Every structure is written in structure tokens, then in C-alpha cells.
A and B are shown apart, each in its own frame.
Chain A
Amino acid sequence: MSVLTNNLDLFLSAFGQTLQLFAVSAVLSLVLGTFLAALRVSPVPVFRGVGTMYVTVVRNTPLTLVFVFFVFAYPLLDILRIEPYTAAVVSLSLYTAAFVCEVVRSGINTVPVGQAEASRALGLTFTQMLGNVVLPQALRSVVPPMTSTMIALLKNTTVASGFAVVQAGNIREQLADQGDNVLIGLLWVALGFVILVMPLTYVQQVFEKRWSVAR
């Protein structure tokens, strides 16, 4: 217990950094992922190809490799200098966007074609069809897996600890520098993540139950 109480500032600020990293990357990856999903369902084959290519490459690449690329390899290209924190945000967003894209796309695909055809037959415009018919139905099958993706993103922020970005994964290093008990410290970090993730898992299960009945 003393490991936690003596270093409460360290724990709080590190978890704060984790949440900040998570929030920024979540917003960016949702935007980019939705854009990629739009590419993947577009009627233009080139756009679909680009989207598929991106998703295939990124989904089969380890996140650590993306981090290594942006921290060690990208600076050699001499394009735009980025801080380790920015590199972490970029890596997490680019990586998670591929998963967001798949979730959104499969959500749209679960809506039966007849729904869109019927709304076109009724004379709805594209935006009306998307906003009033397709998206409300797609949302039901998107939210539960999207929550899983976001939980994964929250846990993935710890990968940044190998790349000089301050967040909960670094608490270990700082405790070791101070000569504190690393074992106990890591257990507290683990507990912190359990506390952060459990409510999200609970929310996900509630949504899943409620909406699977409504279908």
C-alpha cells in the first residue's frame, strides 16, 4: 500500500497521461477510421482498393512495429520533426483506425440491402437514407465491437512506454529509479487498468444485451 500512497502523484499523473493519450488517439482514429470505411463502401473501385490495402497492411502489422517506424525510422526521412508524444498519437491512431474501419464497414453491411432500396423507392435523398434509415440500424451492430476496439486502444497506450512517452506503463521505470518495490507497483498499475476497463466492458455488455433483443 505504501508504494501507492507514497507515489500517489506519480500514479495519478501517469494515468492522467494515459487517459489523455487515449482520448486524443480515440478521436483521431474514429475520424480516420470512418473516413476509411467510407472509402471501403464507396462505388469507386480505386477508393475501395486503397481502403482495403490500408486495412490489410495495418491490421497485419504489430503495433510495436508501427511505433518503431515512427520513432526510429520516420525521422530519417527528414519530413517533419515530431515529438515522441506526437509519434505515439500518430501510431496509435493509424493502427486503431484500421480496426475502427472494419467495425464501421461491417456495421453498414449488416443493414439489409432491401432497406436502402426501399428508402430509394420512397424517394429519400442519399443523406436522408443514410441518416434516417441505414445509420440508425448500423449503429446497433457497431457500438459493442467499437467499445472493444476502444478498450484495446486504451490498453495499447502502454506500448508507448518503450518509446519515452510518459504514461501508466512508465510508472515501473520511475519506481525502479526511486528504489521502490516494482512488483507491488506493477500490481497497482494492473489494478488501475482493471478499474478503467471494467466499466467499459460492463457498458458494452449492457448495449449488446439490450440491442440483440431489439433486432
Chain B
Amino acid sequence: MSMVLFDVPGPKARVRHKIMAVIGIAAVLAALVYVVMRFIVTDQFTARRLDWVNYKQIQLSLVEAIGNTLSAFAVGAVLALAFGAIFAAARLSDHAWVRVPAAVIVEIFRAIPLVIMMFFFYYGLPVAGVKLSAFTAVVISLMLYNGSVLAEIFRAGINSLPKGQSEAAYALGMRKTQVMTFVLLPQALRAMLPTIISQLVVLLKDTALGFLITFEELLRWGTRIGGDAVNFGRPMISVMIVVALVYIGLCLLLTWLATYLEKRNRRNKKVIKPDNPDAEKPVLMDASAAG
């Protein structure tokens, strides 16, 4: 196997790699042993600190917290996709009075940190007399920020198509809307799908920022149970491991979907060839027969 930086290893290099592998394994094992030792020495996995798993109420509240995270994700994702589609269309418009304001709005929302947006909607707006729930504040912020990023992704996807596609469609007499919906979007969507889904992974992770504005999601649940010193002696470590596993699991599920779609996409492109390789022949033969 030849990689960019390294040639196929010879006998000396193979020995060196084996020695390095042994050192690497030893270092990883040492780090693991150290962490586990710290867990044991500080009694992170005693029965009392794991007792929270047994309570039905806590189990139910975990399910509810995951539900809150997922519903913020689902609503935020749908709104962000819609926002992105509208603003991408506006940025691709032929009219400068639509294109320029859309570009300014997208650039501004991409530059403002999500946390500041959430603070603005949750702590700022009540000053002006508008009171939003934490959920609404999280969802609106996710929509504005990720929607702007998605608008850029959509726009880049459509711009990346060969110019001949739209030129050919215009030459056939299609209107701009027709060119967009029948020719450009179907091709661009396919190419963009993996990028869109990785942005959705970002959106899912960003729901955890709701923690900062007291939105009752998975992470806040974790700090509440993990900080319980009275009943469970602050089982923060074990609870956080569970919370991290849930987040990583959910994100990996989405990432896996992205790679699956990418693979299917790549295969589809290769498969595009006529079902019958002789499809063109009869025409020629007919033509010669007729002539």
C-alpha cells in the first residue's frame, strides 16, 4: 500500500513500524489504565453513584430530555432547510434588490455566534416586551444560523454545476423557474446531500447550546442528575459518559446516513449507461436499409 507521504515499507521500515506500533499500543494502554485508575481511586463507579440508573422517574426524564433535544433538532432542521432554500433562491435571483439584501442577511447571520443569538432571543427580547420560551429561542437561533449556512451550501451546489446545463435548458426555451426546478435543483441536491447532512449534524450538536439558556435538553438533564450530591453523591462522570454516548450515537447515525447516501450517489453515476448497448445500432441499420 503506497500512500502520499510514505513508500511501500521495506524490511527495515517494517521492523521500525512494528516497534512504533508496540510503543503506541503501550502508550494507549497506559493512558487508559491511568484514566480507569483515577475512576477507581475517586470512587466514580461505586453502587451509590450508579444508583440513578435504577430509578424509573430518572429513566423517564432521560427519555424526555432526549425527546426535547430531538424535537429542537427536528423543528430547527426543517426551519433551517426552508430558510436556506428561500435565501439561496434569493441570492441566485436576477434582481439586485433581492440578491443584495439576501446576501447581507446571510453573511451577518453567519458571522454572529449562535450563543449571542440565543441570548438575544431569550434575554434580550423580553426588554422589548416579547417573551419567548427557551425552546422557541433555541429553534429560532438554530434556524437563522444554520439556515444561513445551508443557504450558502445550496448556492454553492447550484453554482458548481456546469454552465452548459442551464444554457442548454434556456436554449430549449425553459423559463428560469423551470430551469431551476427541472434541471439545476435535481442535480445539485444529489451532489449536496452529504454536505447538507453534515450541517444537520452540526445543528444537532448545537442544540446542546440550549444548556446556556436553561433549555431542558439532554445536557441540562445530565448536569441536574450528575450534580445531585444528596441522593447519588454527584455521579457527574457516569452521567456525562451516558450523555456523550447518546450524542455521539445520534450524530454517528446521521453521519452514517451521509456516507451511505454518498456511496449510493457515486454508484448511481457509474451505472448510468444504456440498458441495451446495441440501442443505437438498429437506427443506423434502419437508416442504411432505407437508403
Contact in complex: A72, B113 (CB < 8 Å): no
B6 contact from A43, A61, A76, A198, Cβ within 8 A:
A43
Q: Which residues of B contact A46 (CB under 8 A)?
A: 20-21, 24-25, 28
Stretch at the interface among A5-13, A28-36, A86-94, A153-161: A153-161
Distance A60 CA – B119 CA, assembled complex (angstroms): 24
Whether A198 contacts B111 by the Cβ 8 Å rule is: yes
A52 to chain B, nearest CB (A): 13
- CB B153 to nearest CB in A, in angstroms, measures 13
B7 CB-CB contact with A under 8 Å: yes
Q: Does A62 contact B (CB under 8 A)?
A: yes
B247 touches A158 (CB 8 A): no
* A20 on the B face (CB < 8 A): no
Chain A residues within 8 Å of chain B by Cβ, number: 60
CB distance from A125 to the nearest CB of B (A): 12
- Interface of chain A: mostly helix, strand, loop or mixed: helix
Check B236 against A72 for contact (C-beta < 8 Å): yes
Check A117 against B5 for contact (C-beta < 8 Å).
no
- A162 near B223 with CB under 8 A, answer no
The tally of CB-CB contacts under 8 A between chains A and B is 169
User: Is B42 a contact partner of A77 (Cβ separation < 8 A)?
Assistant: yes
- B247 contacts which of A61, A172, A190 (Cβ < 8 Å)? A61
* Residues of chain A contacted by B207 (CB below 8 angstroms): 62
CB distance A50 to B247 under 8 Å?
no
B236 lies within 8 A of A76 (CB): yes
Q: Establish whether residues A182 and B248, one from each chain, have CB atoms under 8 Å apart when the complex forms.
A: no
Complexed CA–CA distance, A162 and B214 (Å): 10
**B170 part of interface (Cβ distance < 8 Å):** no
On chain B, the residues within 8 Å of A79 by CB distance are: 38
Answer whether residue B67 sits at the interface, using C-beta atoms and an 8 A cutoff. no
Residues of chain B within 8 A (CB-CB) of A186 are 116, 119-120, 123-124
Q: Are A182 and B123 in contact (CB under 8 A)?
A: yes
Say yes or no for A45: interface residue by CB 8 A criterion. Answer: yes
When C-beta atoms are compared, the residue in chain A nearest to B14 turns out to be A43
Question: What is the CA–CA distance of A211 and B24 in the complex, to the nearest angstrom?
Answer: 38
Q: If A50-B28, A60-B255, A72-B236 touch, does A162 touch B212 (CB 8 Å cutoff)?
A: yes
Contact of B237 among A77, A185, A194 (CB under 8 A): A77
Q: B58 contacts the other chain (Cβ, under 8 Å)?
A: no
Which of B39, B107, B127 gathers the greatest number of chain A CB atoms within 10 Å? B127
A44-B20, A193-B112 known; A162 vs B211 contact (CB < 8 Å): yes
- Could you say which of A44, A134, A176 contacts B4, with CB atoms under 8 Å apart? A134
In this complex, which of A45, A72, A115, A181 has the most chain B Cβ atoms within 10 angstroms of its Cβ?
Answer: A72
Contact B244 A61 (CB under 8 A): yes
A1, CB-defined interface residue at 8 Å = no
Contacts of A73 in B (CB 8 A): 226, 236-237, 240
Contact digits for B100-125, partner A, Cβ 8 Å, 1 yes 0 no:
00000001101111111101100111
Query: Within 8 Å of chain B (Cβ to Cβ): is A130?
Result: yes
Q: Are A76 and B237 in contact (CB under 8 A)?
A: yes
**Which chain A residue shows the least CB distance to B198?**
A59
Contact, CB under 8 Å: A44 / B24: yes
Chain A residues positioned under 8 Å from B244 (CB to CB):
61, 65, 69
Evaluate contact between A193 and B113: CB separation under 8 angstroms: yes
Q: Are B123 and A172 in contact (CB-based, < 8 A)?
A: yes
Closest B residue to A138 by beta carbon equals B4
Identify which of A117, A189, A197 contacts B2 (C-beta below 8 A).
A117
Contact indicator A61/B236 (Cβ below 8 Å): no
Q: Considering the chains assembled together, what is the distance between the CA atoms of A130 and B3 in angstroms? A: 13
The answer, yes or no, to whether B219 is at the interface (CB within 8 Å) is yes
Complex contacts, B119 vs chain A, CB 8 Å: 161, 169, 172, 186
Q: Kindly state the separation between the CA atoms of A208 and B20 in the bound complex, as whole angstroms.
A: 38
Residues of A within 8 A of B247 (CB): 60-62, 65
Could you name 21 residue pairs across A and B whose Cβ atoms are closer than 8 Å?
Answer: A44-B17, A44-B24, A46-B25, A46-B28, A60-B248, A63-B208, A64-B208, A72-B227, A77-B237, A108-B5, A134-B5, A155-B113, A158-B113, A158-B116, A159-B209, A161-B115, A176-B123, A183-B128, A186-B120, A193-B112, A193-B113
Instruction: Taking A61-B251, A77-B237, A158-B116 as given, write out 5 further A-B residue pairs in contact, using a Cβ cutoff of 8 Å, ordered by the A residue number.
Output: A62-B209, A68-B223, A68-B240, A187-B120, A201-B107
**Interface positions of A (Cβ within 8 A of B):** 41, 43-47, 50, 56-57, 59-65, 68-69, 72-73, 76-79, 108-109, 111, 113, 115-117, 120, 126, 129-130, 134, 155-159, 161-162, 168-169, 172, 176, 181-183, 185-187, 189-190, 193-194, 197-198, 201
